[in-house]
């Protein structure tokens, strides 16, 4: 993959038709929801299908997901996505994260961003959600770097390793630039292909 190919890679949010640039709470929540399965030990395809299952069933707000209850995200949502072993755990995570978002931030990821004093505090707030750790936090925040002032997570080690294998110097890019987001997405895809 050439540097031109990397620089023109599609961010995952764009691939899923999520418009992060809009700043709309609905779009931000959709990206948060889509980010959750990407951290697991499942394929990218399963993660994408799981998001699409939520989309197809019109469960794209915290309230709609909570109204559906525990059983619905397990079957059909997680099963349609391709989960077979982790569906109960992931369903519980999604429900608890929706509860937290509603209770602590009135259902708004924009409110969460505003409540954070800086980038580190923002990462801590995201990381505090049930079942969300540093990798999920990074997945959610990395495509928001050029859009949100307080968003600037360090690239994951796997990105740096993929960059080294591809002879790409990620430090030549401004991390807050769209170009870096595209290169990072391309490196991650390249890593998954190998």
pTM of the model: 0.92
Q: Of 50, 107, 52, 56, whose CA–CA distance to 79 is shortest?
A: 50
Domains annotated on the chain, with CATH: 3-193 (1.10.340.30)
Q: How far apart are CA 77 and CA 87, in angstroms?
A: 9
Per-residue pLDDT of the chain (194 residues; tens, 9 = 90+): 788 889 999 999 999 999 999 999 999 999 999 998 887 667 888 889 889 989 999 999 999 999 988 777 666 766 777 766 555 777 888 999 999 999 999 999 999 999 999 999 999 999 999 999 999 999 999 999 999 999 999 999 989 999 999 999 999 999 999 999 999 999 998 876 65
């Amino acid at each position: 993959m050439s540097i031109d190919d990397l620089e023109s890679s599609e961010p995952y949010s764009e691939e899923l038709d999520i418009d992060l640039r809009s700043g709309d709470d609905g779009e931000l929540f959709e990206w948060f929801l889509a980010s959750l399965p990407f951290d697991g030990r499942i394929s990218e395809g399963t993660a994408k299908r799981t998001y699409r299952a939520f989309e197809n069933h019109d469960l794209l707000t915290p309230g709609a997901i909570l109204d559906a209850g525990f059983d619905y995200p397990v079957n059909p949502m997680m099963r349609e996505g391709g989960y077979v072993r982790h569906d109960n755990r992931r369903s519980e995570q999604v429900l608890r994260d929706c509860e937290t978002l509603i209770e602590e931030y009135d259902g708004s990821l924009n409110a969460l961003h505003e409540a954070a004093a800086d980038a580190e505090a923002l990462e801590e707030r995201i990381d505090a959600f049930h079942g969300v750790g540093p990798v999920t936090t990074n997945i959610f925040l990395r495509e928001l770097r050029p859009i949100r002032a307080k968003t600037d997570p360090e690239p994951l080690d796997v990105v740096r390793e993929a960059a080294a294998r591809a002879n790409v110097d990620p430090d030549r890019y401004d991390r807050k630039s769209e170009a870096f987001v595209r290169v990072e997405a391309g490196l991650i895809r390249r890593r998954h292909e190998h």
